[in-house]
Amino acid sequence: MPDSSSSAMMRIGIVGYGHLGQFLVEKITTAGARLGVTLAFVWNRNPDKLRGSVPEQLILYDLSDFKDRGVDVIVEVCHPRIVKEFGVLFLSHTHFLVGSPSALSDQHLNTQLRQAAEEHGRTLYLPTGALWGGQDIQRLDDSGALKALFIRMSKHPSCFRLTGDVLSDWTSNEGRRVLFSGSVAELCPVAPNNVNTMAAAAVAAGTLGFDGVRGEIVSDTALSDYHMVEVEVIGLNGFSVHTVRKNPAKLGAVTGTATFNSFWSSLLVCKGHGGRVYLC
Ligand SMILES: NC(=O)c1ccc[n+]([C@@H]2O[C@H](COP(=O)([O-])OP(=O)(O)OC[C@H]3O[C@@H](n4cnc5c(N)ncnc54)[C@H](O)[C@@H]3O)[C@@H](O)[C@H]2O)c1
């Protein structure tokens, strides 16, 4: 087994080889050495997708074998189910960057992951993704001055992946349609791939949590070039912040292009911040 402690390089395990996984593997391969990060392994549900693109010695066939690869940080970029099945096990050996934070809307899992991080002194990292001002929200929350938080994500209908069929009937020029409005806890199961930004916000706003942070998803056929993320923060004594982020995105893209680079920046932060949850 490689000894990660003797190496100055941070060894990364990538779990999932879709859009984000491929982007991160490419970044680590091309720019990692200069920035002190290297690949420990890549896992994908279907390993055939890895052959030819990832060196054979870096392919992990059985995810339970991650411990044998001397990994410092595991990056989940596939599905909330993997967070549920492996998150606690990962944290008992290594730091863990959760790419699908909507998984944390499951309160039982949320508690288990926090406890595992604390018990093993490993950091549970949450990427801010497309959330602007996440650390500011967290600071406001830490000081006890956060009263309310609302996030609206508006996208072209082709950019949504919903579990129900609320959007199966969209037409090319129908304009704006509010798809869902409610707590982030209610939203996560409806649109697990579209609400990661809101989930990161619910973690930042820990005292409000997934039940207290409000969210809205809006389909808008006018948004053919970008996703829009609006954040409204209400604090004490009339304090308020309203941000509007335009995230360039192609038609049909679930993830805005700026979010990929945001993820890469988040990964470079994961050098260990103790046994706790850390927004990065
Ligand atoms: N935190 C954020 O801001 C943010 C931004 C974008 C995407 N995400 C999340 O990151 C994850 C990856 O995003 P992506 O754009 O690369 O997605 P993608 O669809 O391009 O790739 C997902 C990969 O995971 C695999 N996969 C799907 N379901 C699986 C399952 N149940 N078990 C194991 N593997 C499975 C797929 O085969 C694919 O290789 C998704 O969960 C997405 O919601 C988070």
- Which structure tokens are listed for 70? 């001397």
Mean pLDDT, residues 29-41: 96
Domain spans in the chain, listed from the N-terminal domain onward: 4-130+260-279, 134-254
Sign of the four-CA dihedral 53, 280, 103, 215: negative
Quickly tell me which residue has 């959760």 as its tokens.
98
Cβ 215 vs Cβ 197: under 8 Å: no
Q: Is 230 left (phi over 0), alpha (psi -120 to 50) or beta?
A: beta
Measured distance CA(175)–CA(137) in Å, rounded:
32
- Which structure tokens are listed for 155? 């996208």
Per-residue pLDDT, 113: 97
Superfamily for domain range 4-130+260-279 = NAD(P)-binding Rossmann-like Domain (3.40.50.720)
Q: Above pLDDT 90, what percent of the chain?
A: 87
Measured distance CA(152)–CA(198) in Å, rounded:
9
Ligand 1 lined by 79 (C-beta under 6 Å)? yes
Per-residue pLDDT, 72: 98
The rounded Å distance from CA 21 to ligand 1 centre is: 8
Q: Name the residue at shortest CA distance from atom 15 of ligand 1.
A: 19
Count the alpha carbons within 13 Å of 30 in the hemisphere toward its beta carbon.
7
pLDDT digits (tens, 9 = 90+) for 138-193: 999 999 999 999 999 999 999 998 888 888 899 999 999 999 999 999 998 888 87
Look over the chain and give the mean of its residue pLDDT values, rounded to a whole number. Answer: 94
The rounded Å distance from CA 241 to ligand 1 centre is: 31
Across 134-143, b (16+ Cβ under 10 Å) vs e yields beebbebbee
Count CB atoms within 10 A of the CB of residue 33: 11
Whether the predicted pLDDT of 7 surpasses 70: no
Ligand 1 lined by 47 (C-beta under 6 Å)? no
Angle at 166 between CA 162 and CA 169, to 5 degrees: 110
Per-residue pLDDT, 5: 44
Q: Above pLDDT 70, what percent of the chain?
A: 98
Task: Classify residue 85 by its DSSP letter.
Answer: H
Mean pLDDT, residues 14-26: 97
The domain made up of 134-254 is a member of CATH 3.30.360.10: yes
pLDDT digits (tens, 9 = 90+) for 101-140: 999 999 999 999 999 999 999 999 999 989 999 999 999 9
4 φ, ψ to 5°? Answer: -70, -25
pLDDT digits (tens, 9 = 90+) for 224-240: 999 999 999 999 999 99
More confident residue, 4 or 90: 90
The rounded Å distance from CA 79 to ligand 1 centre is: 5
Per-residue pLDDT, 3: 44
Ligand 1 lined by 32 (C-beta under 6 Å)? no
Ligand 1 lined by 99 (C-beta under 6 Å)? yes
